Structure 1
Amino acid sequence: MLGLMQQRPLALPHVFHRAEQYFGHKTLVTAEAAGESTMSIADWAQRVRRLATVLDTLDVSADGRVGTFCWNTARHLELYMAAPCTGRVLHTLNIRLFPEQLTYIVNHAADEVVFVDRSLLPVLWPLVDKLETVRHFVVIDDGADAEVPDDPRVHDYEELLAAATPFTGTFTIEDENTAAAMCYTSGTTGNPKGVVYSHRSAVLHSLISLVADGIALAERDVVLPVVPMFHANAWGLPYGCLLAGSDMVFPGPNMTPTAIAALLEKHRVTVTGGVPTIWMGVLPLLPDLDLSALRLILCGGSAVPKALSEEYRKAIGVPMLHAWGMTETSPIATISGLRSHHAGASEADLADARSRQGYATPLVDLRLVDPSTGEIQPWDDVASGEIQAAGPWIAAEYFRGEGEGAQFTEDGWLRTGDVATVDRYGSVRLVDRTKDLIKSGGEWIGSVELENEIMAHPKVAEAAVIAIPHPKWVERPMACVVVKAGETLTAEEVIAHLEPRVAKWWLPDAVEFIDEVPKTSVGKFSKKTLREKFGGYQVQNP
């Protein structure tokens, strides 16, 4: 017996038309070089309709890939809708990749057109002759003075929009499994791999961002997505905000802590999201800010230090909401938060609960698997294993079938590469990445846990822990520590700080002080760089 419900596809045109019809009065603010620009959702929707016909004018094929090389702006949001709503595939390009990686990704995806902010032209244009499939480059003038090449392949964004006739019909996607967007991940071995999001996955992920035990996006919210729009579609915030009707504030090219802090205060932002390094930079500015409107700071991309979250709670009364996921999970798979069983807990226990990666969002299934035996591990917060994920917005394979067998199990689960424990309530606690675990004398040491304890030291700004060779124990931990400006710290003080907090055999054999922890293109700690730097380190008195 079949249900007698209407068969209507879960597709992004619904999100667009809902925003256009119900939320035309809401605003989109973009920070630009010359100040700020503001447009209503109604005006933005008309620009999306013009952009839809521009893609036809540029002869982008029916399912052609539309590349974007842009900052977080309202005009970037126009592309977020115009491409998928016309059946094309939005392909957000990471502006921080090495030239070789960027060239590979554009060619592998077969992008037909790339929309680029003028300020980013000096980064992209030197690669133009290596981009084999790109026929058009559309420059979005963001006020920068970068020279625009005199080339027939180069077009001006505003001129194209002005000349276009707006699409007047209803955008329609017949098959909800049609590709809507794609991002490439460098979190796997070898070349970056393409993750292709469907309309169905994008809509379901957006819907979950509105639930109460998640981000709880609402029409009354003002949202500042600091996380780049090229990083897993800004964690789904742009689509979620359009679905909810939230006002949005875009930081544009100025991503300094001072600029971010000013936007949070000026626009009475209620929800924001970014990686821990962003919030580390804003932290010293908090005493001079009025952030009383802020209700939620979404933080992810790497494990959030408990000390950082607690400093925010003490300064402004708002701790961080920890989210976990990856490009392959669209990306949100778990969200932390307090539940009814935390009632009456001490402040220390509440801080511990908030520092966990949290609970699987509705529709996401998780399991814990011993990476060496394949056995399912119990949820007792003691046994650890690799988190494997399944669900309607979890990748089933990579673009062009790459990575088959390495990242996906025979029964269809995603191998995340993250090692964790899970408590009896289902709260995930990240232990490490499988590739970052330190195996000392046959026992595992979790680098993330060590890092969190080191960063709890009041004089430490950042810390990363890596494995170094050892003649007896095979591997031992090394702590790479960044000291806060104006402070002094010794290796002995670091060890003394750790002694009451971790097992004795977890204590680092070496502490190196560095100016900055190197970062990846999406702001995560680059332990690969540190391993290369300290690969020849010899342990003293082994």
Structure 2
Amino acid sequence: MMNYPLLLKSPLYRAKTIFPEKEIVSRGYNGVFRYTYRDLYDRVCRLANALDRVLGVKALEHVGSFAWNHHRHLELYYAVPCSQRVLHTVNIRLFPEQIAYVINHAEDKVLFVDEDLLPLIEAVAPKLTTVQAYVVMTDNDKLPETKLTNVYHYEELIRQGDPHFDFPTFDENTPALISYTSATTGNPKGVVYTHRGLYLHCLTVLVDELGTREADVTMPVVPMFHVNAWGRPYADTWIGAKQVYPGPRPTAKDLADLIHNERVTYSAGVPTIWMGILNHVRQHPGEYDFSCVRFFMSGGSALPAALTEAYEKELGVKLYQGYGQTETSPVTFVSFPKTSLKDLPDEEKYRLRAKTGLILPGLEMKIVNEKGEEVAHDGKEMGELLLKGPWIIDSYYKDPEKTKEAFTEDGWFRTGDIATIDENGYLQIVDRVKDLVKSGGEWISSVDLENALMAHPAVMEAAVIAIPHEKWQERPLACVVLREEYRGKVTKEDLQAHLSKMVAKWWLPDDYVFVEEIPKTSVGKFSKKTLREQYDKGQLVSMY
């Protein structure tokens, strides 16, 4: 066999060779932009040449992006790593001090910035020690006014660039992208993705029932600025699917409109995205046709079974659960019904879809208790999930101390997630280690309580945190957002009665707090850290 390196230029080559006419759609501030894979290849070549001849970025140097999901960001996903540089996708929702930290830590030489995000970069620019030039991505012909120096116009770079570029061949273990964790505690940690790892990750997410097809119209809502948009920019290009990018600051209406108008067949996002779209469609009956959808994928946090049921019954859409982390490129598990379980009753199928899922081909896992022993495959015994595989990290970037903490002595990556696994091989994440409620020496899953609460028709969102207890060490406190029409009508006692039918008595929350909204992390997950801080300061009080 040929010693042929697994490089990200392969998806780009196939798309321009086999599917040059296929469309890419990108929502912008000035309307919807459309072009083809042929155009994409031309612009990627021009950008790669501009990195050489105008910006002077050398091989293996880091190029930062500070951008939404759009066609220009897609061009960076190819031009930077395929020309042997490293793309650092900076999370735009980090705190300013964290944004400065990750750009400096990654040693980005050039930073590509969306026009509407310029104020965030201008605020931290004096602290940036390695950035030598900025490139503004804008729909307008002229550069906006900015405090930044040595600034270029993205479209001018593209126009000036040579449309021919000879993409080099190099070692498949060369870094391609770098992303940083969302940092619930301490500074974000850097994760470097290699060409080989991303290549194999793409191949795996294209297989089986949930794999993307050439006939698909895909819309990644998951951000390109965090964990590679779950691999969609590479996988969807490779397979030749029509791609739809939702652009800057998309609302639930924007997303629902794109699904309806572009006939989207597949999309991926966090549960809060799906809740928002569902609520918007409910408020506008008869305006949206989602019959085009093959399925949607949810990840980032636990998917409530009630949400999967609502999507299927109200919208006719199957909603599946996926799982991954920054450290795992990210996808490692996907939940779909095995043929041996196809005859399950509907209620069981909804619950099955809400499970974390089955491990992807090419990976290994084990779940171990506090003694390091593997737990039984009974869906009950809990332990920490450990992973191995070709797209799992082996270290954090320039952080040996955190690296040592993250791995077992025999090389397994410690996910920090507590899970169960059933007799059919379905994993269920029950909590983060730090979010478990430890009551009287036993564990209570905050995730299970949240899912049960969100099955109540009055509940829009729910997050459960542990609060100190003199006798039991910790007890659960439920923070609940009611649907607007139920506010002031549903009581704590109503929710307690609902939960008492679904969980053990000793799991029941000691109290409930009705809030206007659950705070979110930089990637759209419930921020339990913020809730705990609010509780400690006496700020977590019922609003209605």
Q: Report the residue type matching 1:383 in the other structure.
A: E
Which residue number corresponds to residue 38 of structure 1? 34
Which residue number corresponds to residue 150 of structure 2? 153
- Greater mean deviation of Cα atoms: 373-382 or 392-401: 373-382
2:16 corresponds, among 11, 14, 20, to 20
1:379 positional shift:
1.6
2:170 corresponds, among 174, 179, 185, to 174
In structure 2, C-alpha distance between the alignment counterparts of 1:152 and 1:510, rounded to whole Å: 54
Which residue number corresponds to residue 520 of structure 2? 519
In structure 1, C-alpha distance between the alignment counterparts of 2:430 and 2:158, rounded to whole Å: 49
Q: Any idea what the Cα deviations from partners look like across 1:337-378, whole Å, max 9, x if unmatched?
A: 1112213211111111111010001001111011x2122212
In structure 1, C-alpha distance between the alignment counterparts of 2:216 and 2:297, rounded to whole Å: 14
In structure 1, C-alpha distance between the alignment counterparts of 2:310 and 2:444, rounded to whole Å: 27
Any conservation in 2 of the 1:52–1:167 contact (CA below 8 Å)? Answer: no
Aligned partner of residue 122 in structure 2, secondary structure: helix
In structure 2, C-alpha distance between the alignment counterparts of 1:145 and 1:427, rounded to whole Å: 53
**Structure 1: runs of 5 or more not aligned:** none
- Greater mean deviation of Cα atoms: 480-489 or 329-338: 480-489
Which residue number corresponds to residue 64 of structure 1? 61
Distance 1:472 1:263, change over 3 A: same
In structure 2, C-alpha distance between the alignment counterparts of 1:254 and 1:536, rounded to whole Å: 32
2:213 corresponds, among 212, 218, 221, to 218
1:161 positional shift:
1.4
In structure 2, C-alpha distance between the alignment counterparts of 1:27 and 1:100, rounded to whole Å: 39
Which residue number corresponds to residue 397 of structure 1? 395
Are 1:388 and 2:386 counterparts?
yes
Which residue number corresponds to residue 84 of structure 2? 87
Q: Report the residue type matching 1:185 in the other structure.
A: T
Distance 1:349 1:244, change over 3 A: same
Which residue number corresponds to residue 112 of structure 1? 109
Which residue number corresponds to residue 339 of structure 1? 338
In structure 1, C-alpha distance between the alignment counterparts of 2:124 and 2:534, rounded to whole Å: 29
Aligned partner of residue 72 in structure 1, secondary structure: coil
1:100 corresponds, among 93, 97, 101, to 97
Aligned partner of residue 76 in structure 1, secondary structure: helix
Any conservation in 2 of the 1:295–1:318 contact (CA below 8 Å)? Answer: yes
Which residue number corresponds to residue 241 of structure 1? 236
Q: Any idea what the Cα deviations from partners look like across 1:409-442, whole Å, max 9, x if unmatched?
A: 1211111111110012211011111000001111
Any conservation in 2 of the 1:469–1:538 contact (CA below 8 Å)? Answer: no
Task: Tell me how many residue pairs correspond in the alignment.
Answer: 532
Which residue number corresponds to residue 319 of structure 2? 320
Any conservation in 2 of the 1:13–1:173 contact (CA below 8 Å)? Answer: no
In structure 1, C-alpha distance between the alignment counterparts of 2:449 and 2:224, rounded to whole Å: 31
- Greater mean deviation of Cα atoms: 395-404 or 23-32: 395-404
Which residue number corresponds to residue 509 of structure 1? 510
Identity in percent? 48
Are 1:73 and 2:74 counterparts?
no
Q: Any idea what the Cα deviations from partners look like across 1:2-61, whole Å, max 9, x if unmatched?
A: xxx111001101111111111111111111112111011101110000000111121112
Aligned partner of residue 405 in structure 2, secondary structure: coil
Any conservation in 2 of the 1:309–1:319 contact (CA below 8 Å)? Answer: yes
- What is the correspondence of 1:86-485 to structure 2 with a 5 Å cutoff? 86-143=83-140, 147-149=144-146, 152-169=149-166, 171-187=167-183, 189-213=185-209, 215-286=210-281, 287=285, 288-370=287-369, 372-402=370-400, 403-485=402-484
Aligned partner of residue 195 in structure 1, secondary structure: strand
In structure 1, C-alpha distance between the alignment counterparts of 2:148 and 2:329, rounded to whole Å: 37
Aligned partner of residue 404 in structure 2, secondary structure: coil
In structure 1, C-alpha distance between the alignment counterparts of 2:147 and 2:450, rounded to whole Å: 50
Aligned partner of residue 373 in structure 1, secondary structure: coil
1:152 positional shift:
4.4
In structure 2, C-alpha distance between the alignment counterparts of 1:525 and 1:254, rounded to whole Å: 19
Any conservation in 1 of the 2:290–2:316 contact (CA below 8 Å)? Answer: no
In structure 2, C-alpha distance between the alignment counterparts of 1:191 and 1:492, rounded to whole Å: 41
Aligned partner of residue 435 in structure 1, secondary structure: helix
- Greater mean deviation of Cα atoms: 448-457 or 141-150: 141-150
Distance 1:471 1:168, change over 3 A: closer
Distance 1:453 1:146, change over 3 A: farther
- Greater mean deviation of Cα atoms: 137-146 or 49-58: 137-146
Q: Any idea what the Cα deviations from partners look like across 1:248-296, whole Å, max 9, x if unmatched?
A: 0011113100000000000000000111111111102334310111001
In structure 2, C-alpha distance between the alignment counterparts of 1:107 and 1:326, rounded to whole Å: 23
Aligned partner of residue 212 in structure 1, secondary structure: coil
Any conservation in 1 of the 2:182–2:521 contact (CA below 8 Å)? Answer: no
In structure 2, C-alpha distance between the alignment counterparts of 1:412 and 1:333, rounded to whole Å: 17
RMSD of Structure 2 on Structure 1 (CA): 1.7
Q: Report the residue type matching 1:502 in the other structure.
A: V
**Structure 2: runs of 5 or more not aligned:** none
Aligned partner of residue 400 in structure 1, secondary structure: coil
Q: Any idea what the Cα deviations from partners look like across 1:310-337, whole Å, max 9, x if unmatched?
A: 1001112222110011111111000001
Q: Any idea what the Cα deviations from partners look like across 1:390-412, whole Å, max 9, x if unmatched?
A: 11101111111431221111211
Are 1:48 and 2:44 counterparts?
yes
Any conservation in 1 of the 2:49–2:165 contact (CA below 8 Å)? Answer: no
TM-score by length of 1: 0.96
In structure 2, C-alpha distance between the alignment counterparts of 1:386 and 1:67, rounded to whole Å: 34
Any conservation in 1 of the 2:290–2:317 contact (CA below 8 Å)? Answer: no
Distance 1:326 1:207, change over 3 A: same
1:187 positional shift:
4.7
In structure 2, C-alpha distance between the alignment counterparts of 1:107 and 1:266, rounded to whole Å: 41
TM-score by length of 2: 0.95
In structure 1, C-alpha distance between the alignment counterparts of 2:360 and 2:265, rounded to whole Å: 21
Distance 1:174 1:497, change over 3 A: same
